[in-house]
């Protein structure tokens, strides 16, 4: 595995860690894990040396770095629902927002950069774009330290630009739980909290803000502030080549689908459910399809509070 364009103080370190952890197998017995510490220590066990927690991930002996206090915020931006909602909440809190997009991390989505640029323009905010390449096989659907890798590039950028505050479109109610289906450590609040603690050792006024509670919260913020963007956003999980068949199957409920959505994954079900609750679509809602959405959401244990 090879990562290019990770040459800053922090990004070089996290790129190495990313490579090391990529060659390790995913844990086979999740039930033995106890949250963050257990996950990281098992995941990063190498050469019989176990590492506990992100406090040990920062092994460099660096001097403290002083960054002047300001209300500047560097916000990781994909142009998706969550990152747009995070922008609106950050604005409400008075931050001076600069958007940041690291192109090349999500190799499957090659339109992502163009999309992020279009949406940033619509929001009228500056967008910093940095590019990287990751070559080689990725054993994880979501690499456990993907966001930590992106953040390390952002922090390196922040060092040069006098920014010590950062944000992602993460949900602060998203706790790290290992289950048979889900080991998304990268987006968990525990991961962000541990990263903040780690960076604070070097940058005293370092801060990671988490603005969003859950999917529903993000959707509500989006409806309130960027309803016009809704049709351009889709968090649909179904690969495009499978969409036509699934969409056709869902047409039996009437013309109820949002543009670009399959209608059967839990993200699509959630959007329809929330759109109905907020009554934002100028369509007649199908009660049968709403019931189907509820079943999908129940199966996925989606937090609708």
- Footprint of Zn ion (CB under 5 A): 236, 238, 262, 265, 268
CB of 259 to Zn ion, least distance (A): 12
CB of 1 to Zn ion, least distance (A): 31
CB of 297 to Zn ion, least distance (A): 13
β-bridge mates for residue 75, sequence order? 99, 167
Q: Which is nearer to Zn ion, 27 or 265 (CB)?
A: 265
Nearest alpha carbon to residue 157 among 98, 207, 240, 92: 98
Per-residue buried b or exposed e for 238-262, using 16+ beta carbons within 10 Å of the residue's own CB: beeeebeebbeebeebeebbbeebb
What gap in Å lies between CA 123 and CA 13, rounded to an integer?
33
CB of 181 to Zn ion, least distance (A): 17
Q: Which is nearer to Zn ion, 156 or 215 (CB)?
A: 215
Q: Which is nearer to Zn ion, 123 or 233 (CB)?
A: 233
CB of 288 to Zn ion, least distance (A): 18
First-to-last alpha carbon distance for the chain, in angstroms, is 41
162 close to 70: Cβ distance less than 8 angstroms: yes
Q: Which is nearer to Zn ion, 49 or 255 (CB)?
A: 255
What gap in Å lies between CA 294 and CA 283, rounded to an integer?
19
Q: Which is nearer to Zn ion, 39 or 266 (CB)?
A: 266
Answer positive or negative: Cα dihedral of 235, 236, 238, 239. negative
């Amino acid at each position: 595995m090879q990562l290019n364009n990770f040459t800053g103080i922090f990004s070089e370190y996290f790129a190495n860690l990313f490579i090391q952890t990529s060659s390790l197998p995913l844990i086979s017995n999740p039930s033995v894990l106890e949250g963050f510490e257990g996950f990281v220590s098992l995941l990063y066990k190498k050469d019989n040396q176990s590492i506990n927690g992100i406090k040990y991930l920062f092994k460099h002996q660096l001097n403290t770095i002083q960054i002047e206090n300001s209300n500047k915020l560097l916000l990781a931006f994909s142009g998706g629902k969550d990152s747009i909602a995070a922008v609106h909440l950050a604005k409400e809190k008075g931050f001076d927002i600069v958007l940041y997009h690291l192109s090349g991390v999500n190799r499957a989505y090659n339109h992502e950069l163009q999309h992020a640029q279009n949406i940033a323009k619509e929001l009228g905010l500056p967008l910093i774009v940095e590019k990287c390449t990751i070559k080689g096989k990725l054993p994880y659907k979501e690499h456990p330290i993907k966001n930590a890798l992106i953040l390390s590039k952002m922090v390196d950028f922040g060092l040069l630009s006098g920014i010590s505050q950062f944000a992602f479109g993460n949900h602060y109610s998203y706790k790290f739980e290992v289950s048979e289906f889900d080991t998304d450590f990268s987006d968990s609040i525990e991961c962000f909290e541990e990263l903040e603690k780690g960076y604070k050792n070097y940058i005293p006024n370092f801060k990671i803000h988490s603005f969003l509670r859950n999917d529903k919260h993000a959707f509500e913020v989006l409806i309130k502030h960027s309803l016009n963007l809704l049709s351009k956003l889709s968090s649909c999980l179904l690969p495009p080549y499978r969409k036509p068949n699934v969409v056709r199957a869902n047409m039996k409920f009437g013309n109820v689908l949002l543009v670009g959505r399959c209608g059967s994954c839990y993200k699509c079900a959630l959007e329809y459910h929330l759109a109905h609750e907020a009554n934002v679509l100028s369509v007649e809602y199908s009660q049968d399809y709403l019931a189907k959405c509820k079943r999908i959401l129940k199966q996925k244990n989606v937090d609708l509070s």
